[in-house]
């Protein structure tokens, strides 16, 4: 059996959580996911959400929290995360205005300061990539590498989205190996190429080399494989169950 656990990024079910946040979490637990990564809390008080998670046997892995939100209210986000029992806060994206060489120095200072603030409270700051971190460069290097070279490893760790790295033309297994020991969470997703760009699909329905990716994650000590599907062409709960079932059939031996 692999040493990682299986989680779900709740952004995948955003259309359902806007209608019934607690009920959607119950469905996720019923499917069999061990933990959830949040992208908003449905307006629930931290104590109320913690009680629900405990009832359902779901772990709070962490959350995706916007860069600007952290600059404005890091302490509030940290305390909420501590209350629900999570360990990770991930910056999910950087807007284009933050990606220039001039802006990057301030971004790296802010990420370092936010990471130290999180660390002091027992929370680990992460950064989650899309494609641009690989396709856009600073100093002839992908922004991804510049970012993690600019901030100390214990202050800023990696949440690698293997799908988007692969879609950008990079080998995600090589990046898992490069950042092993600094990479506790892996976004585990699949996609198909289309005329309009990558279309995320259920696991096993696309072109991402999922089994080698999962093996590299296991070898590198990744704690959580986190299923996420940005775009859905099937009913949301059906999609996340299909992906969960693929994991059970293909990885849990």
pLDDT digits (tens, 9 = 90+) for 147-170: 999 999 999 999 999 999 999 999
Residues 6+ apart with CB under 8 A from 20: none
Please check the confidence at residue 253 and state whether its pLDDT lies above 80: no
Instruction: Give the pLDDT confidence of 91-141 residue by residue, as tens digits.
Output: 999 999 998 888 988 999 999 999 999 999 999 999 999 999 999 998 899
d(CA 92, CA 72): 16
Location of structure tokens 């802006």: 103
Best CA proximity match to 92, nearest among 59, 68, 61: 68
Task: Specify the 3-state DSSP secondary structure of 5.
Answer: strand
Judge contact between 4 and 224, C-beta under 8 A: yes
The whole-number pLDDT of residue 101 equals 86
The whole-number pLDDT of residue 1 equals 74
The whole-number pLDDT of residue 20 equals 98
d(CA 68, CA 140): 27
Q: Which whole number is the average pLDDT over 82-88?
A: 98
In order, the DSSP letters of 22-57 are HHHHHHHHHHT--EEEES--TT--HHHHHHHHHHHT
Q: Which whole number is the average pLDDT over 21-41?
A: 98
Q: Count Cβ atoms below 10 Å from residue 197 Cβ, excluding itself.
A: 9
Token pair for 165? 């790295």
d(CA 248, CA 76): 37
Judge contact between 214 and 248, C-beta under 8 A: no
């Amino acid at each position: 059996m692999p040493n990682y656990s299986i989680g779900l990024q709740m952004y995948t079910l955003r259309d359902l959580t806007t209608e019934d946040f607690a009920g959607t979490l119950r469905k996720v637990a019923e499917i069999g996911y061990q933990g959830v990564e949040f992208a908003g809390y449905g307006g629930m008080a931290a104590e109320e959400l913690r009680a629900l998670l405990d009832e359902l046997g779901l772990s709070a892995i962490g959350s995706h929290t916007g860069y600007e939100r952290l600059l404005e209210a890091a302490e509030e986000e940290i305390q909420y995360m501590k209350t629900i029992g999570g360990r990770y806060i991930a910056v999910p994206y950087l807007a284009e205005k933050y990606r220039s060489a001039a802006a990057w120095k301030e971004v790296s200072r802010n990420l370092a300061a936010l990471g130290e603030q999180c660390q002091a409270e027992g929370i680990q700051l992460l950064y989650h990539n899309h494609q641009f971190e690989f396709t856009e460069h600073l100093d002839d290097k992908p922004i991804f590498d510049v970012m993690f070279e600019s901030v100390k490893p214990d202050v800023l760790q990696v949440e690698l989205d293997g799908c988007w790295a692969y879609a950008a033309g990079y080998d995600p297994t090589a990046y898992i190996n490069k950042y092993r020991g600094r990479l506790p969470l892996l976004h585990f997703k699949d996609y198909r190429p289309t005329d309009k760009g990558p279309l995320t699909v259920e696991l096993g329905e696309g072109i991402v080399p999922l089994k080698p990716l999962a093996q590299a994650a296991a070898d590198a000590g990744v704690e959580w494989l986190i299923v996420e599907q940005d775009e859905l062409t099937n009913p949301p709960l059906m999609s996340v169950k299909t992906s969960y079932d693929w994991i059970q059939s293909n990885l849990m031996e």
